[in-house]
Amino acid sequence: MAKSKLRHIALSVDDPFKTAQFFKEALDMEQVGETDSPLARGVYLSDGTICLAILNFKTDQWAGGQGKGIHHIGFWVDDIEKTGEAVEKAGGKHFAGRPSAEEGDVSRTHFEVKYYDPDGILFDLSETGWVGATRD
């Protein structure tokens, strides 16, 4: 299996625009996008390599009951289906999304598949990456 790259971290916050402004001013992060999806509203920042998603989740389901703080991390992989099989074989549990889901299906979560590790920590797998993140 090809080596995966950590390229995405998501924060769960009350006011994503206020938090994004802090990171832009304090750490010179660049705003590379915004979202207002059925799942969350928020801002995407980047340092040129990694995507930092700052999100306010619209439902408890998508917030995962985790409150405020780091919500999840994301790994850019070469083959999302093979990696997902390896995750489940190693004890991970599928949470949401499938790469074969129809466009417009909220469960697709746009470009990622979500899993819990054996300790219940949420993470994403993506073949296409995140806005502002680079593959290598």
Question: How many residues would you count in the chain?
Answer: 136
Q: What is the pLDDT of residue 78?
A: 85
> Does 128 score more than 60 pLDDT?
yes
Closest C-alpha to 45, from 8, 5, 71: 8
Calculate what percentage of the chain has a pLDDT beyond 90.
22
pLDDT band at 101 (very low <50, low <70, confident <90, very high): low
pLDDT of 109 strictly over 50: no
Q: Is the pTM of this model over 0.85?
A: no
Model confidence pLDDT, tens digit, residues 57-75: 888 767 766 677 787 888 8
pLDDT in tens, 12-44: 888 999 989 988 887 788 999 999 988 899 999
Domains of the chain are 5-126 (3.10.180.10)
Q: How confident is the model at residue 108 (pLDDT cuts 50, 70, 90)?
A: very low
Secondary structure class of 113 (helix, strand, coil): strand
CB pairs under 8 A, 24+ apart, for 40-45? 41/16, 42/16, 43/16, 43/17, 43/19, 44/130, 44/131, 44/132, 45/20, 45/132
* Lowest mean pLDDT, pick from 26-35, 40-49, 50-59, 90-99: 90-99
